[in-house]
Structure 1
Amino acid sequence: MSSRTPRTPKSKARGGGAPFIPPKQGINGFESTFRDYSMMFVSGFVAFALAKIQGKIYLPEAFVLPLTIACGCVAAFALLGLYLLNRGTMPPSNDPHSYCANGKKKPALVFLGDSITHQTLSGEFCKMVAKAKQELAIVNCGQNSIATDTVLNERVDWVVACDPKYVSVMIGTNDIKGIYKPEWAEGTIENFSVKEGEITFATFRRNMTSIVANLIKYTDAKIAIHTLPPMGEDLECEANTFIYKANSIIKEVVDRVKSPRVTLIDTFGNLERFLLETTTKEQREKGLKVDNFGDAKVSIALKRLVGMGYDACGEPFGLAIMCDALHLNDTGAKIVADAVVEWIGSS
């Protein structure tokens, strides 16, 4: 199986020099959105102020109040958008940068992944594991929208810098989502400078092979590789045929490694078992499809503003383990957390 080995991780290349501290992750992919909402807010606020202060001079009185309200609503909507964007893109408080900069006071379990791991949009299994394993520092190395290319060429460096005792890897949903619908891959390819300029099953296989190989080579950690969660809860839908293929690749990669330090956690199988035991086929077929997961984003963001849990966010869409047909809810997150805790105990 071919693999692609990136440069020696920065933390290993420095020798006796100053240790490499990973940077704080950025807001990759959302810069233009922040700019658009900022301009909307400034424009709306200026228009609101002008209408309120100068409106009666230049406009018929009957127009002033409606115009003032409309401009104020635009500014308020943009401000809410900026707040939600900031909450959704902010790095985890327990990221690799913070762990390394603060002196690595406990042995680390590093969770490596995408938005399902970042957990500003998904159930928080990292916090669940932290509560169960207080002897470990739980380090969250997840970020919205990234794929295996970014993990291989950048985030493996960040994990290695943590000198982890354990590494839990759940990555590839954005690869497979982009293979399923190529237009969904465009943002990831552009914003994270995917080197091949495309995402395919071949690049996914190669990247996964190299990610595992480099974690074995450059860390002494015990490593758990997760199969990917389903895309939507209809297990027989077209999107999940792509997930089945991806998970067969992940299992093949782990099998070929033949390292006692590497364990497969069948997250898809665990979630599938729960769905089959607690829901009917009819319920799963009626639930929100991943093709329409964007329809749930605003609803979930607003519900999170008032402190609703992810289970409650997913219920109106007919979902049992997900909040939007892509990200896990609290129930799905607990299934992942329980499997990780069991893995740590057995190892």
Structure 2
Amino acid sequence: MLVLQLSVVALFVLVLVLFGNAFYQATKLPNNTPSKYLRQQTKSDGHKNVVVLMGDSVTHGRIGVNYVDMIEKQLEGEQFEIINAGINSELAWNNLQRVDEVIRCDPDIVTVLIGTNDANATLSTETMRSYVRRMKLPREPDSGWYRECLNSLVKKLKTETNAQIALLSIPTIGEESNHPAFIRSSEYSSIVHDIAEETNVTYLPLHEKMIDFLRDTPGTPTYPFEKSYMGMFKAILN
């Protein structure tokens, strides 16, 4: 009986260790963050063009494919310094709070891919409350606040840097075009497009390209939105 109890305790401890390691790996900051760049390098190092990619978990790159690393590998040997300024679960307001650090990097190019969490937060009261609590938001997010924060972010970058700025529309949320989450992601992508036009910065149609891909390669998702995408969001937040 004692052996069985010890085995159960050992198994429980092992699960905790594995979960803790997985959480650490998922939330660990990249090696090329703005703060690390500011501590270790200066723009005079090799006269490289400094490229900062701002965003959320998509840019952070610990949950899925790290597109920042892919860009860095493609530009290997070129005169570019790639900086990853993405952090899991962030909304446009959170990016705005961190933009001063990006400005201190004296970037030549800044891309901004933010808004998926802003859109997702509006899909249910439970999700909204979770974002407000976890991300220390000063208010409940909605489309108007998203527009305001993203607009302020772009204007601050334009005013305080000489960088070329590009806004990306957000990824589709799920694959079912008639699902409220998918529709919401389209609405928020339209806001990104509007702000890019209003502020005269480059617009990169990521959302539209994903819709084209889904249209050209139709299929039924293996798992419905509620079990797949929402499960991923809850795991990141909690």
TM-score of the two chains, using structure 1 as the length reference: 0.63
Q: 2:27 aligns with which of 72, 89, 108?
A: 89
Q: CA-to-partner distance for each residue in 1:60-106, whole Å, 9 max, x for gaps? A: xxx11211110100110001111111111111110001111112333
Contact 1:232–1:288 (8 Å) recurs in 2: no
Q: What are structure 2's unaligned runs of at least 5 residues? A: none
Q: 1:170 aligns with which of 77, 100, 113?
A: 113
Paired residues, what number? 228
Q: CA-to-partner distance for each residue in 1:203-234, whole Å, 9 max, x for gaps? A: 01111111111111111111110001001111
Asked if 1:181 is matched to 2:124, the reply is: yes
In structure 1, give the amino acid aligned to 2:71.
V
1: distance between equivalents of 2:225 and 2:37? 34
The 5 A counterparts of 1:309-320 are none
Contact 2:171–2:206 (8 Å) recurs in 1: yes
Q: 1:136 aligns with which of 72, 75, 80?
A: 80
The 5 A counterparts of 1:19-168 are 63-104=1-42, 105=45, 106-134=48-76, 135-152=79-96, 154-168=97-111
Residue 295 of structure 1 and its aligned partner are, at CA, apart by 7.6
Q: What are structure 1's unaligned runs of at least 5 residues? A: 1-62, 298-323, 328-347
1: distance between equivalents of 2:169 and 2:151? 14
Tell me which residue corresponds to 1:230: 172
Q: 1:273 aligns with which of 212, 234, 237?
A: 212
In our comparison, the structure showing a higher alpha carbon Rg is 1
The 5 A counterparts of 1:242-261 are 242-258=184-200
- SS of the equivalent of 1:229 reads coil
In structure 2, give the amino acid aligned to 1:266.
P
In structure 2, give the amino acid aligned to 1:290.
F
Change beyond 3 A, Cα 1:271–1:185: same
Contact 1:234–1:287 (8 Å) recurs in 2: no
- SS of the equivalent of 2:122 reads helix
Change beyond 3 A, Cα 1:164–1:130: same
Residue 191 of structure 1 and its aligned partner are, at CA, apart by 2.7
Change beyond 3 A, Cα 1:296–1:201: closer
Change beyond 3 A, Cα 1:244–1:102: same
Residue 182 of structure 1 and its aligned partner are, at CA, apart by 2.9
Residue 270 of structure 1 and its aligned partner are, at CA, apart by 1.2
Residue 287 of structure 1 and its aligned partner are, at CA, apart by 3.6
1: distance between equivalents of 2:224 and 2:169? 20
Matched residues, percent identical? Answer: 25
Asked if 1:209 is matched to 2:151, the reply is: yes
Residue 122 of structure 1 and its aligned partner are, at CA, apart by 1.8
- SS of the equivalent of 1:177 reads helix
2: distance between equivalents of 1:202 and 1:96? 29
- SS of the equivalent of 1:290 reads coil
Q: Let me know the Cα RMSD of the aligned residues.
A: 1.8
Contact 1:175–1:185 (8 Å) recurs in 2: no
Determine which structure has the larger helix proportion and give its number. 1
